[in-house]
Protein backbone atom coordinates (compact mmCIF):
# COMPACT_ATOMS: atom_id res chain seq x y z
CA UNK A 1 0.00 0.00 0.00
CA UNK A 2 1.34 3.45 -0.93
CA UNK A 3 2.46 5.83 1.79
CA UNK A 4 1.11 9.36 2.05
CA UNK A 5 2.95 12.56 2.96
CA UNK A 6 1.75 16.07 3.71
CA UNK A 7 4.17 18.81 2.70
CA UNK A 8 3.50 22.39 3.77
CA UNK A 9 5.14 25.10 1.74
CA UNK A 10 4.93 22.49 -1.00
CA UNK A 11 4.55 24.93 -3.87
CA UNK A 12 8.22 25.87 -4.17
CA UNK A 13 11.73 25.44 -2.81
CA UNK A 14 12.41 22.71 -0.28
CA UNK A 15 8.78 21.60 -0.25
CA UNK A 16 8.55 21.13 -3.99
CA UNK A 17 11.92 19.37 -4.24
CA UNK A 18 10.97 17.00 -1.42
CA UNK A 19 7.59 16.26 -3.00
CA UNK A 20 9.29 15.17 -6.20
CA UNK A 21 11.91 13.15 -4.33
CA UNK A 22 9.28 11.27 -2.30
CA UNK A 23 7.16 10.71 -5.39
CA UNK A 24 10.11 8.89 -6.94
CA UNK A 25 9.69 6.37 -4.12
CA UNK A 26 5.96 6.03 -4.78
CA UNK A 27 4.78 8.27 -1.93
CA UNK A 28 1.51 10.11 -2.55
CA UNK A 29 1.62 13.80 -1.66
CA UNK A 30 -0.80 16.33 -0.21
CA UNK A 31 0.71 19.62 -1.35
CA UNK A 32 -0.19 22.46 1.04
CA UNK A 33 0.56 26.08 0.14
CA UNK A 34 -1.04 29.52 -0.06
CA UNK A 35 -0.04 29.71 -3.72
CA UNK A 36 -2.40 27.89 -6.06
CA UNK A 37 0.00 28.31 -8.96
CA UNK A 38 2.95 26.80 -7.11
CA UNK A 39 0.88 24.11 -5.46
CA UNK A 40 -0.64 22.93 -8.71
CA UNK A 41 2.78 22.97 -10.37
CA UNK A 42 4.06 20.62 -7.68
CA UNK A 43 1.07 18.34 -8.13
CA UNK A 44 1.93 18.02 -11.82
CA UNK A 45 5.58 17.27 -11.03
CA UNK A 46 4.58 14.58 -8.53
CA UNK A 47 2.24 12.95 -11.02
CA UNK A 48 4.95 12.96 -13.67
CA UNK A 49 7.20 11.19 -11.16
CA UNK A 50 4.61 8.42 -10.84
CA UNK A 51 2.72 9.18 -7.62
CA UNK A 52 -0.67 10.70 -6.85
CA UNK A 53 -1.04 14.21 -5.47
CA UNK A 54 -3.64 16.72 -4.40
CA UNK A 55 -3.30 20.45 -3.78
CA UNK A 56 -4.86 21.95 -0.65
CA UNK A 57 -4.74 25.71 -0.25
CA UNK A 58 -4.13 26.80 3.35
CA UNK A 59 -2.79 29.63 5.47
CA UNK A 60 -0.90 27.63 8.10
CA UNK A 61 -1.09 30.47 10.62
CA UNK A 62 -4.80 29.70 11.02
CA UNK A 63 -5.57 26.60 13.07
CA UNK A 64 -8.87 25.93 11.27
CA UNK A 65 -7.12 25.85 7.89
CA UNK A 66 -4.46 23.50 9.25
CA UNK A 67 -7.13 21.13 10.53
CA UNK A 68 -8.79 21.37 7.11
CA UNK A 69 -5.68 20.28 5.20
CA UNK A 70 -5.22 17.37 7.58
CA UNK A 71 -8.86 16.30 7.24
CA UNK A 72 -8.73 16.65 3.45
CA UNK A 73 -5.60 14.52 3.25
CA UNK A 74 -7.19 11.74 5.27
CA UNK A 75 -10.35 11.96 3.19
CA UNK A 76 -8.41 11.76 -0.08
CA UNK A 77 -5.69 9.23 0.78
CA UNK A 78 -7.00 7.48 3.91
CA UNK A 79 -3.97 8.07 6.15
CA UNK A 80 -0.93 10.21 6.88
CA UNK A 81 2.41 8.44 7.15
CA UNK A 82 4.85 11.31 6.70
CA UNK A 83 4.72 15.04 7.41
CA UNK A 84 7.23 17.61 6.16
CA UNK A 85 6.32 20.58 8.34
CA UNK A 86 8.08 23.10 6.18
CA UNK A 87 6.09 26.29 5.48
CA UNK A 88 7.91 29.43 6.51
CA UNK A 89 8.90 33.01 5.69
CA UNK A 90 12.10 34.90 6.41
CA UNK A 91 11.10 38.52 6.94
CA UNK A 92 12.54 41.80 5.68
CA UNK A 93 16.10 41.55 7.02
CA UNK A 94 15.65 44.61 9.19
CA UNK A 95 17.29 44.73 12.60
CA UNK A 96 14.84 43.73 15.32
CA UNK A 97 14.15 47.18 16.74
CA UNK A 98 13.37 48.40 13.23
CA UNK A 99 10.90 45.56 12.62
CA UNK A 100 7.20 46.32 12.65
CA UNK A 101 4.88 44.53 15.04
CA UNK A 102 2.93 43.34 11.98
CA UNK A 103 6.04 41.64 10.58
CA UNK A 104 6.82 39.99 13.92
CA UNK A 105 3.27 38.65 14.19
CA UNK A 106 3.30 37.36 10.62
CA UNK A 107 6.60 35.50 11.00
CA UNK A 108 5.58 33.97 14.32
CA UNK A 109 2.16 33.04 12.95
CA UNK A 110 3.47 31.19 9.91
CA UNK A 111 6.76 29.78 11.16
CA UNK A 112 5.97 28.82 14.74
CA UNK A 113 2.21 28.67 15.22
CA UNK A 114 1.83 27.04 11.79
CA UNK A 115 4.33 24.36 12.77
CA UNK A 116 2.70 23.81 16.17
CA UNK A 117 -0.76 23.52 14.64
CA UNK A 118 0.52 21.13 11.99
CA UNK A 119 2.12 18.78 14.48
CA UNK A 120 -0.95 19.01 16.71
CA UNK A 121 -3.40 17.78 14.08
CA UNK A 122 -1.11 15.49 12.08
CA UNK A 123 0.28 13.66 15.11
CA UNK A 124 -3.26 13.02 16.33
CA UNK A 125 -3.99 11.11 13.11
CA UNK A 126 -0.64 9.33 13.11
CA UNK A 127 -0.98 8.08 16.66
CA UNK A 128 -4.43 6.67 15.95
CA UNK A 129 -2.81 4.65 13.16
CA UNK A 130 0.13 3.40 15.20
CA UNK A 131 2.71 6.09 14.48
CA UNK A 132 4.37 8.09 11.75
CA UNK A 133 7.31 10.30 10.89
CA UNK A 134 7.58 14.09 11.01
CA UNK A 135 10.38 16.35 9.80
CA UNK A 136 10.23 19.98 10.89
CA UNK A 137 12.15 22.70 9.05
CA UNK A 138 14.35 24.64 11.44
CA UNK A 139 17.35 26.60 10.14
CA UNK A 140 20.96 27.43 10.79
CA UNK A 141 19.35 30.41 12.55
CA UNK A 142 17.66 27.89 14.83
CA UNK A 143 20.93 26.54 16.21
CA UNK A 144 23.02 29.74 16.37
CA UNK A 145 22.23 33.43 16.70
CA UNK A 146 22.25 35.56 13.55
CA UNK A 147 21.70 39.26 13.02
CA UNK A 148 18.93 40.70 10.82
CA UNK A 149 16.66 37.70 11.45
CA UNK A 150 15.83 37.91 15.17
CA UNK A 151 12.16 36.98 14.89
CA UNK A 152 12.87 34.30 12.30
CA UNK A 153 15.64 32.90 14.49
CA UNK A 154 13.35 32.85 17.53
CA UNK A 155 10.74 30.84 15.62
CA UNK A 156 13.34 28.38 14.35
CA UNK A 157 14.73 27.86 17.84
CA UNK A 158 11.12 27.14 18.76
CA UNK A 159 10.99 24.46 16.06
CA UNK A 160 13.97 22.76 17.72
CA UNK A 161 12.13 22.73 21.05
CA UNK A 162 8.97 21.40 19.41
CA UNK A 163 10.94 18.59 17.80
CA UNK A 164 12.73 17.40 20.93
CA UNK A 165 9.75 17.73 23.26
CA UNK A 166 7.36 15.82 20.99
CA UNK A 167 9.82 12.92 21.07
CA UNK A 168 9.92 13.06 24.85
CA UNK A 169 6.14 12.67 24.95
CA UNK A 170 5.29 10.42 21.99
CA UNK A 171 8.25 8.34 20.81
CA UNK A 172 6.94 5.46 22.90
CA UNK A 173 3.75 5.55 20.82
CA UNK A 174 5.50 5.15 17.48
CA UNK A 175 6.07 8.77 16.55
CA UNK A 176 9.39 9.93 15.09
CA UNK A 177 10.05 13.67 14.98
CA UNK A 178 13.26 15.14 13.59
CA UNK A 179 14.28 18.54 12.28
CA UNK A 180 16.55 19.81 9.57
CA UNK A 181 18.61 22.98 9.96
CA UNK A 182 19.48 24.19 6.46
CA UNK A 183 21.99 26.94 5.96
CA UNK A 184 21.64 29.40 3.06
CA UNK A 185 19.99 27.41 0.28
CA UNK A 186 18.99 28.22 -3.29
CA UNK A 187 15.22 28.57 -2.88
CA UNK A 188 12.80 31.31 -3.98
CA UNK A 189 12.46 32.52 -0.38
CA UNK A 190 16.21 32.85 0.11
CA UNK A 191 16.66 34.40 -3.33
CA UNK A 192 14.06 37.07 -2.54
CA UNK A 193 15.69 37.76 0.84
CA UNK A 194 19.12 38.21 -0.73
CA UNK A 195 17.75 40.40 -3.54
CA UNK A 196 16.43 42.72 -0.85
CA UNK A 197 19.65 42.41 1.19
CA UNK A 198 22.47 41.79 -1.33
CA UNK A 199 25.29 42.37 1.14
CA UNK A 200 24.02 39.48 3.25
CA UNK A 201 24.37 36.96 0.39
CA UNK A 202 28.02 37.87 -0.06
CA UNK A 203 28.65 37.59 3.67
CA UNK A 204 26.81 34.27 3.92
CA UNK A 205 28.60 32.66 0.98
CA UNK A 206 31.97 33.82 2.29
CA UNK A 207 31.14 32.24 5.65
CA UNK A 208 30.31 28.81 4.21
CA UNK A 209 33.39 26.55 4.12
CA UNK A 210 32.17 24.96 0.87
CA UNK A 211 31.84 28.47 -0.64
CA UNK A 212 28.42 27.93 -2.18
CA UNK A 213 24.77 27.82 -1.23
CA UNK A 214 23.05 24.49 -0.80
CA UNK A 215 20.43 23.26 -3.24
CA UNK A 216 16.82 22.30 -2.59
CA UNK A 217 17.53 18.85 -4.02
CA UNK A 218 20.31 18.23 -1.50
CA UNK A 219 17.97 19.11 1.35
CA UNK A 220 15.21 16.95 -0.15
CA UNK A 221 17.50 13.91 -0.03
CA UNK A 222 17.97 14.41 3.70
CA UNK A 223 14.26 14.95 4.35
CA UNK A 224 13.31 11.84 2.38
CA UNK A 225 15.82 9.78 4.35
CA UNK A 226 14.58 11.03 7.71
CA UNK A 227 10.91 10.54 6.87
CA UNK A 228 11.12 7.00 5.58
CA UNK A 229 11.81 3.59 7.07
CA UNK A 230 15.54 3.97 6.40
CA UNK A 231 15.85 6.15 9.51
CA UNK A 232 13.84 4.17 12.05
CA UNK A 233 16.21 4.75 14.98
CA UNK A 234 16.80 8.45 14.40
CA UNK A 235 14.51 10.45 16.66
CA UNK A 236 14.60 13.95 18.13
CA UNK A 237 17.62 15.00 16.07
CA UNK A 238 18.27 18.41 14.54
CA UNK A 239 20.47 17.74 11.53
CA UNK A 240 22.43 20.61 10.04
CA UNK A 241 22.78 20.74 6.26
CA UNK A 242 24.77 23.91 5.69
CA UNK A 243 28.14 23.19 4.08
CA UNK A 244 29.82 23.65 7.46
CA UNK A 245 28.35 27.15 7.97
CA UNK A 246 27.43 26.76 11.65
CA UNK A 247 30.58 24.81 12.51
CA UNK A 248 32.85 27.78 11.94
CA UNK A 249 30.83 30.44 13.72
Question: Residue 138's Cα: distance from chain center in Å?
Answer: 7
Active-site residue flag, 152: yes
Q: Exactly one of 82, 117, 152, 194 is catalytic; which is it?
A: 152
Question: What are the distances in angstroms from CA 119 to CA 44, 109, 168, 198?
Answer: 26, 14, 14, 35
Active site amino acids:
152
Amino acid sequence: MSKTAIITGGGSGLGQATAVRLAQEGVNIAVVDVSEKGGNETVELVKRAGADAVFIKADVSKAAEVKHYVDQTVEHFGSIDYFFNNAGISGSGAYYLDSSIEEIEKIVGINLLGALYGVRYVAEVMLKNGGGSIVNTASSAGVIGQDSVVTYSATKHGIVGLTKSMVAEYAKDGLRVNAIAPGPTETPMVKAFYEANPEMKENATAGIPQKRLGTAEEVAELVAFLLTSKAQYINGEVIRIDGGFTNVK
